[in-house]
């Protein structure tokens, strides 16, 4: 069982120390945009199976965020879908009408998203290195009341209103997502 600390729902609640520059930016932006959230701090979480305790604590399901690229490694996609959905590269590529994609390399995840495996997050769009990454949202995510994701680390997880992600955060980072159904 993972050790967890639950932080109550307030937009001014921030960690005392930050593990990464991205994590610091996340909490600054949440405060700037007055986005309320609930936060769970835990031992390191890597897989969706590891997220089960977080889901139970926050009474929701975490999203699955995948970092993908084309064969030439020139086009990058941040795909957000339901945690329990299996990723099918062919269906994803067909929905976007692009050649088949694969997972981006771990080095690219670190350089572009500012995260390591298990911490991919929509909040990486705050980084200038991610400015050319195309955000792709599964329609099922847009239809949910809550949005659960990493704060850019493998130890901090957030529950936010999906409406706040769509109507506050994405305009703030000047991102127009492609919304697909698979």
Phi, psi of 141 (to 5 degrees): -70, -45
Q: 59 Cβ partners below 8 Å, 6+ apart?
A: none
Burial of residue 32 (CB within 10 Å: 0-12, 13-18, 19+) is: exposed
DSSP track, 140-167:
HHHTSSEEEEESSSSSEEEEEEHHHIII
pLDDT in tens, 56-113: 888 999 999 999 999 999 999 999 999 999 999 999 999 999 999 999 999 999 999 9
d(CA 91, CA 132): 22
Residue in 45, 24, 26 with CA at minimum distance from that of residue 117: 45
Tokens representing 105? Answer: 């390399």
Structure confidence by residue, pLDDT tens digits, 117-166: 889 999 999 999 999 999 999 999 999 999 999 999 999 999 999 999 99
Phi/psi-derived region of residue 178, left when phi > 0, alpha when psi is between -120 and 50, beta in every other case: beta
């Amino acid at each position: 069982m993972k050790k967890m600390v639950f932080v109550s729902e307030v937009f001014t609640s921030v960690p005392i120390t930050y593990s990464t520059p991205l994590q610091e930016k996340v909490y600054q932006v949440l405060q700037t945009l007055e986005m309320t959230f609930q936060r769970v701090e835990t031992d390191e979480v890597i897989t969706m199976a590891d997220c089960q305790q977080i889901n139970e604590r926050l009474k929701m399901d975490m999203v699955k965020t995948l970092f993908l690229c084309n064969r030439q490694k020139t086009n990058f996609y941040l795909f957000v879908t339901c945690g329990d959905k299996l990723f099918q590269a062919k269906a994803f590529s067909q929905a976007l009408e692009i050649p088949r994609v694969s997972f981006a390399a771990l080095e690219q995840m670190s350089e572009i998203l500012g995260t390591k495996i298990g911490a991919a997050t929509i909040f990486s769009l705050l980084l200038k290195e991610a400015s050319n990454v195309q955000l792709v949202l599964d329609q099922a995510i847009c239809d949910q009341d809550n949005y659960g994701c990493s704060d850019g680390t493998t130890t901090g997880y957030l529950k936010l209103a999906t409406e706040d992600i769509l109507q506050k955060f994405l305009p703030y980072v000047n991102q127009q997502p492609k919304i697909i159904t698979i």
